[in-house]
Structure 1
């Protein structure tokens, strides 16, 4: 079984969904500390030819609290207004806008559950199928941190194969996973370009950008364009 364990992010970029595409089981790592100025509650879209940052309103953000201990305000209609300004002329805006409206207004105040619902719904739109779990609901030693926590979660799930984002190579020691009889690999997203409004491609934007400019069939192809190393 191939397992991926990642913090839930707010409308993350295509590479995040490539991790989901590669997984049999995807675990939302929601019982770790919130990281300010990261991707848990913010991401970027294309507005006026440039990357424009959007933020999800989170109450009393603290790096001393876990992700699943935070709550949100999901009555901020300005996010939908910004989406419309950015993408009203995009070829698939009419297809995507109703989904975005449902996700933004979803009646859940817990940050972890709100983001998980968002991510699972987008996976369904993209045609990605895997099992979803929350690390906070799995049995484990709460004192275990970092790499040891990931290995413990993998053992709990009886997984044979752990896949992580390529940027996390410095966090893990292959020997430690090998000793636990777990194969460790990293995903290398190919991040193909697609047609946006202009001739200059702006990369590393939210998955929303890819959804606005690509059909479901094209998105399914983009989600599978990566290498496992």
Structure 2
């Protein structure tokens, strides 16, 4: 069994979805410290031909809290504002009519938890793209928050009886292949390849939210994009 562990990111870029598609079980690392100005509650869209960073507003977010302890802002108007921004950017995109109802369902999901909002969004995206990966919030099962860094990752892998662990390429200096091998596991790193597609008549802007790829491409094309990576 192949496993990956990542913090929950809202409407993430395609590399995140590639990692999820590459494994059997994907652990949402939601009981670690919240990161301000990270990707948990933010991502990028194409608005008026330009890269646009949107943010889901939170209440009392702090790096002293765990991700699953952080709540959405009390004012629900952000949902409608974000949907209006997405409509503004993608109304004329070829797959807007198919993808916008999915987007509305994701953004209007009834919760006050950023962790739950992200978890549900990934379930919905997986269903749309036919990704059968099992999603598990780390807060729900492993009971190992006393462990840190690589030690905790190894423990989760062992609890899940994983034979292979895949990490984003950014973790090359954080995780050690011989240590994983001693524990009976293979460690691999995933490197996303740049995938281009028409974005209206604009010069292509890479690494936007998966919504961008979905608005401009049919499901089969995006499914093929999910395999555009290297394992090292």
The normalised TM-score by structure 2 is 0.96
Residues of 1 paired with 2:28 and 2:59: CA distance? 20
Q: Do residues 35 (structure 1) and 38 (structure 2) align?
A: no
Structure 1 equivalent of residue 207 of structure 2: 204
Structure 2 equivalent of residue 119 of structure 1: 122
Residues of 1 paired with 2:45 and 2:87: CA distance? 11
User: Once the 2 structures are TM-superposed, how far is the Cα of residue 142 of structure 1 from its aligned partner?
Assistant: 2.2
2:179 to 176, 180, 185: 176
Structure 1 gaps, min length 5: none
The equivalences for 1:29-178 within 5 A come to 29-73=29-73, 74-76=76-78, 77-178=80-181
Change (3 A) 1:193 1:49: same
Residues of 2 paired with 1:222 and 1:49: CA distance? 22
Q: Deviations over 1:145-198 (max 9, x none)?
A: 111110010011111100011112111111221121111001111131011112
Q: Is the 8 A contact 1:75 1:105 kept in 2?
A: no
Residues of 1 paired with 2:194 and 2:30: CA distance? 26
Residues of 2 paired with 1:186 and 1:215: CA distance? 28
Secondary structure, aligned partner of 2:40:
coil
The root-mean-square deviation of aligned C-alpha atoms, in Å, is 1.1
Count of residue correspondences: 229
Q: Which moved more, 1:81-90 or 1:198-207?
A: 198-207
Residues of 1 paired with 2:112 and 2:202: CA distance? 40
